[in-house]
Every structure is written in C-alpha cells, then in structure tokens.
C-alpha cells in the first residue's frame, strides 16, 4: 500500500476534550461498476459515531506530485451531511471518493477513509486506456501494453488487485518515467486486476479488467462490444497456435461443444453480456466478462470523442437537422400566409 493511504486509525469520542482511539471511517460504494443512468450510493461508517458528528464527502483527484490523491469536497454534499450515506446521480466516468467525520467548534476531524472507486468501461476524450493485444486475458509470459490517451502529456497507470491493493504499476510509477503514454506489463505471475490511467490534469480514464494466466485463455474483448456487432471468442493454449474440440460456457452454462476452437456471435445483443470461459482437454480457462453497450451509447461516444471517426456522423446529423429546420420554417410561413388570407376575406 502506498504511503498516502497509511493513516492513524482514529475516530474521536463524543467528548471534545477527550480523544479516544477508535477506528477510522470505512467507505463503501455501490455499485463498483457503473451502468447507464445508475446512481452511486456512498456509505461512511465510523465506530461509535454519534448524532453530533457530521460526515464530509470528497472526490479523489490524482496528485501528480505524489503517487496518491488530493481530496476535494463534493459540490452536491454542501460540505457535510447529518447521516452516513450520500447519493451521487448521473456519474458516468471512473471516479474515486473518500469521507471523514467532524464535530465541534473548532472542528475535530477523523482521518480520511481509504479511497474507493466506481469504474466505467466507457472511454472519453479527456482520458482513455487501450490494451494491446486487445483482449482481457493474457499469458504470464506475454507483454501487455497499456496505452493512455487524451488531453494530457503526463500519465500514470494504476492497478487495483483482486486482493484489494491499490498500487502504481512497477516501472510506470513515476509521472516522467513512462515510455511516453505507454506502460508495458511483462512476465507477471497469475493474477487478476483492474487497470486505469490517471492524467496530470486530474482525469481518470476508462478501466479494464486484465487477467494473467499461465496455461489456457478465453479470448474476450477488453472493451465493451456494440450491440448488433459481430464478435468471435477464441480459446488459446500456451505454445499452440490453433486448438479444436473446445467447450464454451456462458455464465457456467454450456453453449457450444464441437470441433471448432472459436465461438462466433453474428449480432451481439444484451443477452450475450456476461461471463465466458472455455475448456480444452480437461483444462478450464479463467472466466472473463464481456460487456455489451447499446447503439445509442456508441453514437454518443462518436459525437463526443474528437479522436473518433465522427465526421461522417456529424455531417449526417447536420444535414438532418438542417432539413428539419427548413421544413419547419416553410410550415410556419404557410401558416402565417393562411391566417393573412382569412383576415382579408
């Protein structure tokens, strides 16, 4: 755990004159992975907290001078709340949050809770993360390149492991020592973690799951697949180019068992979202989540992301909007003309 997150474990008793060692606040967030139009619930718990305490809610902003974060009060919290829960509506991007309790005049504050994150798989212009090779699972002997892109020249890559550790990636731990905007992860032990980029201007990128395994992999796209698109999932064994007689599972339910080594979905739908894994010669791969996004999400992303191929779409939208405007104008003129003729007669 990096130094910023090592705090003294203290909460204060209800008596301002007597400070009793308790436990620092613990923040929980739900859900961890963001869904469209979902609200995020924050809950801040502190041992022996009384009604005289007020909870202060903060967002975590990447601090380029440290490996950690600086904390800014959430605007919607109006500095403090009387209860230990707080709702955030309309959160669409990856973000970090923390809380602390305070009471008295002058204020006595607890330490900050350890930051907790809500993650989004959707890229946005200010900060984005892409993975090469473009899949969620990789062999431990392979090198995986994480590329940060967006409106920044300074980046760091963060990792949240399955064990709950939040760390900066080794060899990418210094803002100025990354190879441009890329971080290469190579020859790691078997593990699973969430990765994202943080910019020098305080932006979080989309997040990706990365699983490192030594023997058998199911090749699932690392980024969400657009509804209606085609996708091919494959099963890979270390040291072998092509394998056959593969069994594929969706949410642990067998969906294909034949001589093919691939699972082809011609038109992805929301029902195809979920966990996939494959089996070959008695060996079962780790499971990976394939996310599915709607077509409207893709259109919004193309329009809002200057780095995408949005020009043809914008041109079409411009023509449609212009045509509608002209039609409305003609109808308005006809309406006024009709009223004029009636008045004259």
**What are the residues whose beta carbons fall under 8 Å from the beta carbon of 188, sequence distance 6 or more?**
140, 212
Domain covering 121-214 in this structure, CATH number: 2.60.40.10
pLDDT of residue 214: 85
The three-class DSSP label of residue 320 is helix
Tell me what pLDDT residue 5 has: 32
What are the helix and strand counts (H, E) for the chain? 2, 26
Is 98:113 a contact under the CB 8 Å cutoff?
A: yes
Q: Which CATH architecture has domain 26-118?
A: Sandwich (2.60)
The pLDDT assigned to 93 comes to: 92
Lookup: tokens for 26: 């613990």
User: What are the domain boundaries of the chain?
Assistant: 26-118, 121-214, 216-302
pLDDT score for 164: 81
Q: What pLDDT is recorded for position 342?
A: 34
Enter the tokens of residue 311.
């020009």
CATH class label, 216-302:
mainly beta
Strand partners, 234: 219, 262
In CATH terms, are 26-118 and 121-214 the same topology? yes
Taking 50 as the pLDDT cut, the residues of the chain under it are 1-21, 298-321, 324, 335-337, 339-345
Beta bridge partners of 115: none
Contact of 46 with 133, CB cutoff 8 Å = no
Structure tokens at 205: 């990128």
């Amino acid at each position: 755990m990096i130094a910023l997150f090592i705090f003294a474990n203290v909460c204060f008793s209800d008596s301002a004159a007597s400070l009793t060692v308790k436990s620092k606040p613990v923040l929980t967030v739900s859900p961890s992975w963001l869904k469209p139009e979902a609200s995020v619930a924050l809950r801040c718990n502190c041992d022996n907290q009384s009604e005289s305490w007020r909870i202060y809610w903060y967002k975590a902003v990447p601090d380029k001078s440290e490996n950690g974060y600086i904390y800014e009060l959430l605007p919607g919290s109006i500095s403090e709340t009387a209860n230990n829960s707080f709702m955030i509506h309309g959160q669409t991007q990856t973000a970090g949050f923390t809380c602390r309790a305070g009471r008295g005049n002058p204020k006595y504050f607890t330490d900050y809770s350890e930051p907790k994150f809500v993650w989004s798989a959707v890229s946005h212009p200010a900060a984005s993360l892409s993975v090469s090779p473009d899949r969620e699972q990789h062999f431990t002997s392979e090198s995986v390149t994480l590329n940060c892109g967006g409106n920044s020249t300074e980046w760091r890559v963060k990792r949240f492991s399955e064990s709950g550790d939040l760390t900066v990636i080794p060899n990418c731990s210094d803002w100025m020592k990354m190879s441009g905007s890329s971080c290469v992860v190579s020859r790691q032990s078997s593990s699973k973690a969430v990765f994202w980029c943080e910019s020098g201007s305080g932006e979080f990128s989309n997040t990706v799951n990365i699983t490192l395994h030594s023997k058998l992999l199911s090749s699932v796209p690392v980024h969400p697949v657009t509804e209606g698109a085609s996708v091919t999932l494959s099963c890979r064994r270390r040291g072998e180019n092509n394998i056959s007689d593969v069994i594929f599972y969706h949410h642990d339910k067998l969906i294909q068992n034949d001589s093919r080594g691939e699972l082809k979905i011609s038109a992805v739908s929301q029902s195809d979202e979920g966990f996939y894994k494959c089996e070959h010669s008695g060996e079962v791969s780790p499971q990976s989540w394939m996310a599915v996004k709607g077509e409207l999400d893709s259109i919004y992303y193309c329009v809002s992301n200057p780095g995408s191929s949005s020009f043809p779409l914008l041109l079409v939208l411009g023509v449609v909007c212009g045509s509608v405007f002209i039609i409305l104008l003609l109808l308005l003129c006809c309406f006024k003309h009709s009223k004029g003729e009636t008045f004259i007669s």
